Amino acid sequence: MHTTISRNNGDLFMEKVALSDIANQFGTPCYVYSRTALKLNFEAYTSALGNHPHLICYAVKSNSNIAVLQTLSALGAGFDIVSVGELERVLIAGGDPSKIVFSGLGKTSSEMRRALEVGIHCFNVESESELVLLNETASALSLKAPVSIRVNPDVNANTHPYISTGLKEDKFGIDINHAMTVYQNASLMNNIDVIGIDCHIGSQLTDVRPFVDAMNRLLILVDQLAELKINLNHIDIGGGLGVRYRDESIQSVDDYMRELLPLLAHRSETLVLEPGRSITANAGAMLTQVQFIKSNEHKNFAIVDAAMNDMLRPSLYQAWMDIQSISHSMGVDEKVYDVVGPVCESGDFLGKDRKLSVKEGDHLCLFSAGSYGFVMSSNYNSRPRAPEIMVDGDNVFLIRQRETIQDLTRGEQLLPVNSSSNC
């Protein structure tokens, strides 16, 4: 997984741009992404897949900024979406509807209708009720809905329980032992066109073994279906390949495909992948500034201007993300700090027990923040959301403005005066 952040004479650069220049120009906190890293990470997939028929559907939920989607779309990416909001983003970014797969276990009828109208590649269906609703919705439009059944292959992805999705007890997909029945029902529905099978076993997988296990289980089912004359055009193994946040050893996309593709040799089905984190995480960073330094008997705190509303991962699942000074501070002693935000929750931290040489006013860089960063941010504590910036070589583009105080109350309404009831 590529990152394009490097240190040069003590200062951090993304591509050819000093991160201190970005912090000074746009203020902090802010998100910054490298267009070159996005391209390299996407191309790692296309080159590893070689001539095998494939469709790489970038998982929009990991970073849905329209300039990110536009960059990937221009490289030929398809998209994995989980809502009509993500669908509209892809369309705005110039994405090709015929390369979109629609995941998610709670699609509404109106979301289905919009996706049918624009002609997406496939609905990844997660329950029998969803299949019934999709058939009805397609029938009302006199269309056929292309469908893949998301099966739960019951493999252990060995990842954090919140991001493990392929075990029997998880809420996702249809039990692989029951999938045959669902396929048979689907194949009898007038407005359903059965075209594929999919799974997604979890996120931040460091090892490719679980993907291989899952693929082997899917292939058994695909062959059983073929005996019933239910022939599939594609096999979608989902996303989930991990990235290095600290010192994890992660198998590369090349390793992954070297193990996976032999299982598909002599088979004609298109391989669909839904990578998110492995494309965006290490293409991005979040910049923040130290407001105050505070110490007590036990701890030193670096209180920064970014908080859990800006970056939730450390608070939500104790994620470890690297934090470094953007520029070396001369003559400042190294100490161990908890890097915390100003939000009124003890869970509001970006990192604990970090060795840093910092003083008030210094800028810090939070690494690997390109995935599940801005997209999970909120206005908690009425904090405007941070801007997003794209670096490309020595060019810098503002791709989302910092929210304003007006943005915070947009759509809200005061009650009319004298409207309170007298009880």
Ligand X SMILES: *Cc1c(COP(=O)(O)O)cnc(C)c1O
Chain contacts with ligand X (rule: CB under 6 A)? 59, 61-62, 80, 103, 200, 203, 238-240, 274-278
Please list the alpha-helical segments (H only) found in 141-291: 179-187, 209-227, 253-264, 277-280
**Helix/strand/coil for 177:** coil
Nearer to ligand X, 121 or 277 (CB): 277
Query: Given the complex with ligand X, which of 277 and 385 has the nearer CB atom?
Result: 277
Among candidate residues 57, 122, 199, 344, the one labeled active-site is 344
Instruction: Give whichever of 23 and 59 is closer to ligand X, judged by the CB atom.
Output: 59
- From the CB of 284, what's the least distance to ligand X, in Å? 13
Q: Verify whether residue 344 is a known catalytic residue.
A: yes
Smallest separation, CB 261 to ligand X (Å): 19
Instruction: Tell me which DSSP letter residue 162 carries.
Output: G
* Residue among 238, 107, 221 nearest 166 (CA): 238
3-class DSSP state of 93: coil
**Which residue number, 61 or 89, has a Cβ lying nearer to ligand X?**
61
In whole angstroms, give the CA distance from residue 338 to residue 168: 38
Cβ-contact 399, 65 below 8 angstroms? yes
Two structure tokens written together for 418: 């004298």
* In the complex, minimum distance from the CB of residue 101 to ligand X, in angstroms, rounded to a whole number: 8
Q: Which amino acid is at 303?
A: I
Q: Cβ closer to ligand X: 59 or 283?
A: 59
Q: Which is nearer to ligand X, 135 or 278 (CB)?
A: 278
Q: Least distance (Å) from ligand X to the CB of residue 274?
A: 4
Minimum Å gap between C-beta 198 and ligand X is 8
Residue 193 CB, nearest distance to ligand X (Å)?
20
Tell me the C-alpha distance between 250 and 1, whole Å: 9
Pairing of strands 363-366, 284-295: antiparallel
- Minimum CB distance to ligand X, residue 316 (Å): 14
In degrees and rounded to multiples of 5, residue 84 shows phi and psi of -70, -25
Task: Please identify the residue of the shown chain whose CB is closest to the bound ligand X.
Answer: 276
Please give the structure tokens belonging to residue 322: 């690297």
Taken in order 209, 64, 309, 36, is the CA torsion positive or negative? positive
Question: Which two tokens mark 174?
Answer: 């249809």
Longest dimension (CA), the chain: 77
Q: How far apart are CA 412 and CA 362, in angstroms?
A: 37
Kindly write down the DSSP assignment for every residue of 238-269, as one continuous string: ---B---SSS-----HHHHHHHHHHHHTT--P
The region that residue 143 occupies, defined by phi over 0 for left and psi between -120 and 50 for alpha, beta otherwise, is beta
Residue 343's SS3 state is coil
Residue 63 per-residue DSSP state: -
What backbone torsions phi and psi does residue 46 show, to the nearest 5 degrees? -65, -40
Token pair in block for residue 1: 């997984």
Q: Shortest Cβ distance from residue 303 to ligand X (Å)?
A: 31
CA-CA distances (angstroms) from residue 148 to 136, 272, 375?
17, 11, 27
Active site members? 344
